Structure formats: C-alpha cells, structure tokens
Amino acid sequence: MDESGDHPRNDLIAIQGLAAGCIVGIFDWERAVSQKVVIDLELPCDARRASQNDRIEDTLDYKRISKSVISFVEQSRFYLVETLAENIASFCINKFRVKHIKVRVSKPGALRGAENVSVTVFREISDYLPDAATTVYLSIGSNIDPERNIGEAIRLLQESFFVNEVSQIYETLPYGAANQPKYWNLIMELRTELSETELKDQLLHLENHLGRIRSEDKFASRNIDIDILIFGKHWHTGSASEESSLVDRAFILVPLAEIRPDLIEPGTGSTIQEHLASKAFAEEPVRRLGDWAEVCSGAVQKVSRS
C-alpha cells in the first residue's frame, strides 16, 4: 500500500455515506445520546472474475457488508472516532477476509464551525494477524475435471484462510505415472494460526467435501490434491521412500518461483529462482495456462447456470 492508501493493481468496491448511530464521544452528554456517524469503505475485490461469471459468490456482497458494519457500529460505545475507525477496519478484515481496507469515519457537527470531522485509516491483513500466525505454501493439483475442482478449492480456501498469493495455473505431466490426463497445478501462500496437524485435518476435510476418492495407488488420478509443501520453516520432501526434494519437481518449482522467487531452500541455501535457473526439466514440460480466475471461469459459469 502506498502513502495514499491505494493499491493500483486491485479492483475496489466503495461504499460511501453509510450512516449509523452510536455512542461515541468523551463528554457526558455524548455518552448518553446516540451520535450520527457516516462511514466510507474501500475494499479490494476481483471485479474481473465477477464480471466474467456474473455471480455474487465471486465478489464482495456489499449489501451484507453494509448491514454487518451498521450492526457493529450501532452496538459500539467507543470514546474516540479513531478507535471506532480502527475497530471497523479490524471487523471487516476478519469477517470478510479482505486483504486490505480503507475506512473513513465522519462525525457531522462534532466541531463548532466545521461541517464535519473525520478520521481515515488504512489497514492490511498483516496488521491484525497475531505473531503466532504461520506462513504456509500449498500445492494444489487436479487431473479430473481440473477447471471445476481447482476453482472450487481456491474459493473454499479463500473463505477459510488469509490467502496472500495464488500462482498462475500450470499444466504438467502426471508425476510418477503414465497414461493419465495432464495435471493442472498451482501454489498458494496463506497465513494461519492452526497447527500443522490441524491444518492437515482441515485440508483433508476440504478434499473430501470436493469428492476426493483415495486409493492405495499413490499415483492414481485425482479430482483434487492439496498438499502442504512448507509450513513455517518446515519443508516437506514427500514420503520417506522418495529421495527427491520439492525443488526437483517442475510442477512445484515453477509456480513457486513465480510467487516467491527469493525464498531460500534451507537444504542448499539457494533461492527458488536459482534452483529453477539450474534445471532444464526436459522430461517434465510445464505449460502456463494463466490466472486461475480466468482459466476456471468456464466451469464456474456452468455450475451457476445448472
């Protein structure tokens, strides 16, 4: 976020002039009588995806946001407008999982000779995440109806976690097996307060919700596969029988290098970008398909119209 609070690469939804009444002020009479405040909000959204799919599920429901904010404000009893603005920002980020927000709270008639007094705050997810929150990198893949399953998996993860980055989708050959459809793969970076075991359980539940069928063949085709690659400082290397590391697999290394090229792999001390530059992956061709919201939009439209 720059000094003006703008994120030029993000689409925004603006809610302006949202009026509510609440107890706010330091004087005795202000503690006894509800005061009018006017709230302006700017929140990031993916207007491109929503415009392609024409579904409310693919954008922020600003009617729901407005009603929730009014309810929150009307129950508040802060002394300072600054405190009210801060708490509205925290409320919206935590409830609606937005990455950042601009909140302006105005109190008309608060100052003699002035029409209005207002406080504006700019906040991001990182301002409210506890120190204990862990950065996690997930690998998400599918070679059974990937357009539908990957899109739905990302949407559900975004509803449950603070998602920082999502790579583009890459088409790769099936790992460890032949005579299968090609996989679609991507990497997601998120932050969570869950332990690694708790996160694994939640991801397992999500896979089951999407219809994942498990078999003894670990290389079998699958409609969705969500694996924890890196949990904090813990880098996974697969099962004990596998000697290859994450940086030896094209379907992991290429999308990871896209979103975090400077991430240092602890085993060698080299960055992800350096690992990528040193490998040819001639036997593991990778084809970039594009941004997930665009690549998966067709399946989302089919679901919404069925």
Per-residue pLDDT reduced to its tens digit, 50-97: 787 787 777 888 999 999 999 999 989 899 999 999 999 998 988 887
Nearest to 111 by CA among 15, 26, 41: 26
- Which pLDDT does position 282 carry in this prediction? 60
Domain boundaries, position 244? 134-305
Alpha helix positions (H), the chain: 28-32, 47-53, 62-74, 81-96, 146-160, 196-209, 250-259, 272-277, 292-295, 297-305
Tokens, residue 71 = 């309810």
Based on the fold, state whether residues 67 and 90 are members of the same structural domain. Answer: yes
- On whether residue 69 sits in a domain, the answer given is yes
Give the DSSP letter of residue 48: H
| Cβ–Cβ under 8 Å, residues 148 and 184 | no
* Residue 288: inside a domain: yes
User: Could you give phi then psi for residue 288, rounded to 5 degrees?
Assistant: -75, 125
Q: Tell me if residue 268 falls in helix, strand or coil.
A: coil
Whether the per-residue pLDDT at 3 is higher than 50: the answer is no
One domain, residues 167 and 241: yes
User: The domain spanning residue 208 has which CATH number?
Assistant: 3.30.70.560
Per mean pLDDT, which of 7-16, 224-233, 243-252, 285-294 is the most reliable? 224-233
Is residue 160 domain-shared with residue 27, that is, in the same domain?
Answer: no
- Amino acid identity of residue 200, one-letter, is K
The enclosing domain of 77 has a CATH number of 3.30.1130.10
Domain endpoint, select from 70, 96, 127:
127
Render pLDDT for 138-194 as a digit per residue (tens, 0 to 9): 999 999 999 999 999 998 898 788 888 899 999 998 876 778 899 999 999 998 989
CB–CB of 22/35 below 8 Å? Answer: yes
Strand-strand pairing, 11-24 and 77-78: parallel
Structural domains in the chain (count): 2
What gap in Å lies between CA 65 and CA 86, rounded to an integer? 16
Two tokens at 101? 């927000």
Q: Which helix H or strand E contains 43, and what residues bound it? A: strand 35-45
| 15 pLDDT above the threshold of 90 | yes
Sign for the CA dihedral angle at 93, 72, 117, 17 comes to positive
Answer yes or no: do 163 and 120 share one domain.
no
> Which has the closest alpha carbon to 206: 164, 155, 170?
155
Average pLDDT over residues 30-53: 89
Q: Residues of the chain with pLDDT > 70: what percent?
A: 89
Alpha-carbon distances of 170 from 57, 233, 250, 291, rounded to whole Å: 25, 26, 10, 9
Could you tell me which residues are beta bridge partners of residue 117? 107
**Model pTM score:** 0.65
Provide the pLDDT for residue 297. 66
Catalytic residue numbers read 107
Whether 171 and 299 map to the same domain: the answer is: yes
* Radius of gyration (C-alpha) of the chain in whole angstroms: 23
Other CB atoms within 10 Å distance of the CB of residue 197: 8
Q: How many CA atoms lie within 13 A of 269 on its CB side?
A: 0
DSSP string, 161-199: SEEEEEPPEEEEPPTT-SSSPPEEEEEEEEEESS-HHHH
Same domain, 164 and 263: yes
Helix, strand, coil abundance in the chain, percent, nearest 5 = 35, 30, 35
The amino acid at residue 110 is A
The residues with which 15 forms a beta bridge, in sequence order, are: 41
* b/e code 235-263 from CB counts within 10 Å (16+ = b): beeeeeeeeebbbbbbbbbbbbbbbbeeb
Together in a domain, 157 and 87: no
| DSSP helix/strand/coil, 88 | helix
Amino acid residing at 126: S
Q: Are residues 140 and 260 in the same domain?
A: yes
Q: Residue 2 falls within a domain, yes or no?
A: no
**Whether residues 197 and 265 fall in one domain:** yes
